[in-house]
Amino acid sequence: MSGHIEKEAIAKSFSRAADQYDEYARIQHVLAHELLKLCPSQDKKNVLDLGCGTGYCLPELQKIYPQADITGGDLAPGMLQHAKSHYPQFNYEISDAENLPFENESFDLIFSSLAVQWCDDFSIVLSEAWRCLKPGGHLVLSNLAVGTLQELKQAWLEVDHNQHVNEFTLGDDLLMNISDSDFVESEVKINTHIDYHPDVRSLTDSLKRIGAHNITQGRAKGLTSPGIIKQFKLAMEKHRTEKGLPASYAVLTCVLQKN
């Protein structure tokens, strides 16, 4: 994500969402399972789930790596509290992907599903992951690129000039960050996934309930008037398909290795 990001606001927004997150995180869970399938099969001893949120992926990682010591790291204390109460068997550490609180060469695998799109600079995320991986270790990560929530963005543009939707980084820039990094690329791709909703309320609610609604600076302040909301809903309806109202996610997925 580009622009100045307030990490405190991000942490607060996700902490507040922790208790209801899993109920509304349909697309996030689908994409997490797709990413889990890409985890290398060779044994791993120390595994970090970076941006682990409610801890949803931690038991899944344990199934793949039964012998591993697994740590959940997240920016949001509320998320980690939730994860700890559900999965007390794992380790937890407040972690910022751009400034990891771990020693060099701590992990054999860093897994991260849809967590680093709120970071200012993806190249720093990559260099921090590289630093904390052991030689031969893997980074299995997904991130969001421009194109994500484009229907919402277009609909709001018809209504006003406030920033209602988070800004994402261009896919080409993310790819460039990867090729400029010290990692060896095993698999890198960008695919668009579409999440369909029956109505506008369901779509915007799902983003709000998981804490991923607009948290960038420059967002509209205060309440939005009923007239504006009506205009926005009409603009969104132009995107309706037979499957419902689409919310696109342009997902960068990568499996990288530190040599």
Ligand X SMILES: C[S@@+](CC[C@H](N)C(=O)[O-])C[C@H]1O[C@@H](n2cnc3c(N)ncnc32)[C@H](O)[C@@H]1O
Write the DSSP assignment of 120-149 as a string of letters.
Answer: S-HHHHHHHHHHHEEEEEEEEEEEEETTTT
- CA dist., res. 53 & res. 34, Å (int): 17
Applying CB under 6 A, does 128 fall inside the site for ligand X?
Answer: no
Q: Which of 40, 7, 25 is nearest to 136 (CA)?
A: 40
Applying CB under 6 A, does 39 fall inside the site for ligand X?
Answer: no
Applying CB under 6 A, the site for ligand X has a residue count of 26
- β partners of residue 251: 144, 191
Least gap, CB of 159 to ligand X (angstroms): 26
Contact with ligand X (CB under 6 A) among 109, 115, 140, 200: 115
- In this chain, which stretch among 110-118, 162-170, 191-199, 234-242 interacts with ligand X, using CB under 6 A? 110-118
Q: Given the complex with ligand X, which of 25 and 236 has the nearer CB atom?
A: 25
**3-state DSSP percent of the chain in helix, strand and coil, to 5:** 40, 25, 35
Q: Given the complex with ligand X, which of 50 and 109 has the nearer CB atom?
A: 50
- In this chain, which stretch among 24-32, 85-93, 133-141, 243-251 interacts with ligand X, using CB under 6 A? 24-32
Q: Given the complex with ligand X, which of 109 and 235 has the nearer CB atom?
A: 109
Applying CB under 6 A, does 247 fall inside the site for ligand X?
Answer: no
Least gap, CB of 29 to ligand X (angstroms): 7
Structure tokens at 87: 């999965």
Yes or no: say if 35 and 111 are a contact pair by the CB < 8 Å rule: yes
Provide the mask over 4-23, with x wherever binding to ligand X is found by CB under 6 A and - wherever it is not: ------x---x---------
- β partners of residue 190: 252
DSSP element (H, E) containing 30: helix 26-36
Give whole-number Cα distances, 213 to 86, 170, 216, in Å: 25, 19, 9
Least gap, CB of 226 to ligand X (angstroms): 30
The residue sitting closest to ligand X, measured at its beta carbon, is 53
**Secondary structure letter of residue 223 according to DSSP:** P
184-197: strand order across its sheet: 91-94, 69-74, 46-50, 107-112, 133-145, 245-257, 184-197
Site for ligand X in 138-167 (CB under 6 A): none
Q: Which of 205, 8, 193, 20 is nearest to 113 (CA)?
A: 193
Q: Given the complex with ligand X, which of 139 and 210 has the nearer CB atom?
A: 210
Largest CA distance in the chain: 57
Structure tokens at 120: 């200012």
Provide the mask over 59-98, with x wherever binding to ligand X is found by CB under 6 A and - wherever it is not: ---------------xxx--x---------------xxxx
Contact with ligand X (CB under 6 A) among 1, 24, 27, 32: 32
Contact with ligand X (CB under 6 A) among 27, 39, 48, 56: 56
Residues of this chain that interact with ligand X (CB under 6 A) are 10, 14, 25, 28, 32, 50-53, 56-57, 74-76, 79, 95-98, 113-115, 118-119, 210, 212
